[in-house]
């Protein structure tokens, strides 16, 4: 069971921001191209079901190309900051009294 967890954790499951943008553009292009081709083919055949089949095929293809985090979508990783050492942390200033409410004048 541990071997399965290790294998699953070794699979990269992230995309960078530029990769997400590229995946979205590829998805939209594939859907639009398959919709136009499907509409034209359905019009020629005079069967709307052909349009739907072609559009579903384009959707499946676009999902296979864009949903998994392929290496093409991980080319621009974010430069993360190095973790701070807690022993060198600067003490924070004491905050004002809790509540922060002003005292009301008694009449």
Tokens encoding 7:
């294998």
- How would residue 88 be classed by pLDDT, with cut points 50, 70 and 90? low
Question: What is the tally of helices (H) and strands (E) in the chain?
Answer: 3, 0
Taking Cα atoms as reference points, which of 27, 1, 17 lies closest to residue 76?
A: 17
pLDDT (tens digit per residue) in 9-39: 888 778 889 999 999 999 999 999 999 999 9
Q: At what angle do helices 48-66 and 17-45 cross, to 10 degrees?
A: 160
**Banded model confidence at residue 104, pLDDT cuts 50, 70, 90:** low
């Amino acid at each position: 069971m541990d071997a399965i967890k290790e294998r699953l954790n070794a699979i990269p499951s992230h995309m960078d921001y530029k990769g997400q943008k590229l995946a979205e553009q590829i998805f939209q292009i594939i859907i639009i191209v398959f919709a136009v081709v499907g509409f034209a083919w359905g019009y020629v055949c005079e069967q709307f079901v052909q349009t739907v089949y072609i559009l579903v095929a384009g959707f499946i293809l676009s999902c296979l190309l864009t949903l998994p985090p392929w290496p093409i979508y991980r080319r621009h990783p974010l430069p993360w900051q190095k973790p701070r050492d807690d022993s060198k942390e600067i003490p924070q200033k004491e905050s004002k009294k809790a509540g922060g409410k002003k005292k009301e004048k008694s009449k």
